[in-house]
A and B are shown apart, each in its own frame.
Chain A
Amino acid sequence: MATLLIAEHNGKELAPATLSALTAAQQIGSDITVLVAGADVKVVADAVAQCAGVSKVLLAEGDSLAHDLAENLSELVVSMASDYSYIMAPANSVSKDTMPRVAALLDVGQLSDITAVLSGDQFQRPIYAGNAIATVTSKDATKVITVRAAAFDKVATTGGSATVESISAPEANSNSSWVSDELSKSERPELTAAERIVSGGRGVGSAENFALVEALADKLGAAVGASRAAVDSGFVANDLQVGQTGKIVAPSLYMAFGISGAIQHLAGMKDSKVIVAINKDEDAPIFQVADYGLVGDLFEILPEMTEKL
């Protein structure tokens, strides 16, 4: 019942989503090996070794793993797969890219975005933008699984004492190469890891007005999120999109300003602990899921809240 869990990291730090995926892995079995792959990621491997419940850490460093190319990373994972019954990763843009490739190379199905472990082969996952929960049984000997981090608690980052073992990186696939990255720079907390999120939608009106949302977010130490409408209108970068096709979040506090609450947006945030909606349309669907709603003009309410907090 050994599990191989692929760590999510940014090259320097372990992403909190990995800690949630570790909880899911522990619910399945105890023999958990974590793979840390990248160009120069020893520091991440050392951090993983301290985490509770980790039996072993495998460190694969090499140029071919530098930019998370699925062709190379899947090659590495498949070469190790015969030792494991479960291959898991937190659901993020790297694992969504790589894991189905791993599954197909092993000729098995993949379980995407699981939200609960019912037994060693039975799991729950949301379908139809989270409007239905499917209970599914995997009939494959090797189970390839991505984990919705927001659905599991995080394990402790201390208390573990796993050994770190280096393994070699695969040769780079000649058909695929990295060209460039254009990453958004932000001092604010990362969206999927944030305890509080202040989100804006079409109602915010412009990129300039988004400064009002950002001001409140900074006051609360919160991350900034957005609806698809706000992203498509160019108010903010698309990696801030919360929803079925963007980020799935479940913070303690989610504040939605000028967001109507389309099915696709709710799919990304309805598991938040407390939802606050501010909208001038009192019939907006967002009020049906909001714990606290305030009908009014966000251009008056945002500055007032920022000032009074």
Chain B
Amino acid sequence: MKILVGVKRVIDYNVKVRVKSDNTDVDLSNTKMAINPFCEIAVEEAIRLKEAGIATEVIAVSVGSSASQEQLRTAMALGADRAILVEAEGTVEPLHVAKAFAKIMDQEDAGLVILGKQSIDSDNNQVGQMLAALTKRPQGTFASNVTVDGDSVSVTREIDGGLRTVKLALPAIVTTDLRLNEPRFAKLPDIMKAKRKPLDNTSFADLGIEVKQHIQLDKVEAPATRQGGVKVGSVDELIQKLKDEAKVI
């Protein structure tokens, strides 16, 4: 079966974001960009399923600006066979991305779609669930273990209070949690080889998707900063401050 894997280009997770002075958005100019960490885990899982002989082909898909090609090349260097970029400028909403994936999932006749559970920029945690809804397929979100068995997949999910295992009929949509796997690093020869792997360009219009704005971004502000605290010298002083000053114990 074919596996589709989602890749989003986001700000590197170590970079502290700055809000633009006109409060229209965060400032991403000259910022280090990378694959969203949860997408890296999704790519890794897809490649492992190929190495295990379960997947026949792994297709990396990204929706975003042409610069996202860089992240798709990285996914191919890690082991994806080919890539599709749905080129879109400006703000792309989760529902638009889900619609694009639904079309591609259908076109490619994919048996499994693996996405990250959330992107670390917009923190929405929506695309996988929306894709499952649009395709009327089952979903295994926040996965920490994935086992494909014939025409179904068992997914162990991280839920509040512990773990829950569900069994889903394929095709299915899985979103990755942090503990699903440890992504590998791309090796130099693989990075060279990835340059020759096919990367197809398409767009919302080509896929026949009407992009309607659902959520408008009005303003972006820096969060309120905390008052600078004090350092205490001993446990006794700390306990005394917590009791008398903060009154929390």
Chain A residues proximal to chain B, CB less than 8 Å: 10, 67-71, 74, 92-94, 96-105, 107-113, 122, 126-140, 173-184, 192, 196, 220, 228, 231-232, 237-239, 244-245, 247, 252-253, 263-264, 270, 273-276, 282, 287-295, 301, 304-305, 308-309
Contacts and interface: CB of A to CB of B under 8 A. Distances in A.
A292 B213 contact: no
14 contacts: A92-B160, A93-B158, A100-B128, A129-B120, A135-B220, A139-B214, A174-B169, A239-B159, A270-B223, A288-B228, A292-B231, A292-B242, A294-B231, A304-B235
A113 B126 CA distance: 11
B235 A308 contact: yes
B205 interface: no
Given A253-B249, A270-B226, A104 B133 contact: yes
Nearest to A184: B162
Interface in B1-27: 11, 13-14, 16-17, 19, 26
A97 to B, nearest CB: 5
A303 B132 CA distance: 50
Q: Which 9 A-B pairs have the closest CB atoms?
A: A109-B214, A100-B129, A183-B162, A104-B130, A104-B133, A176-B138, A100-B126, A135-B219, A253-B248
Contacts, number: 259
Interface of B: 11, 13-14, 16-17, 19, 26, 38, 93-95, 98, 117-118, 120-134, 137-139, 141-142, 144, 154, 157-169, 172, 177-179, 213-223, 226-236, 238-239, 241-242, 246, 248-249
B248 A252 contact: yes
B123 A113 contact: yes
B139 A294 contact: no
Nearest to B223: A133
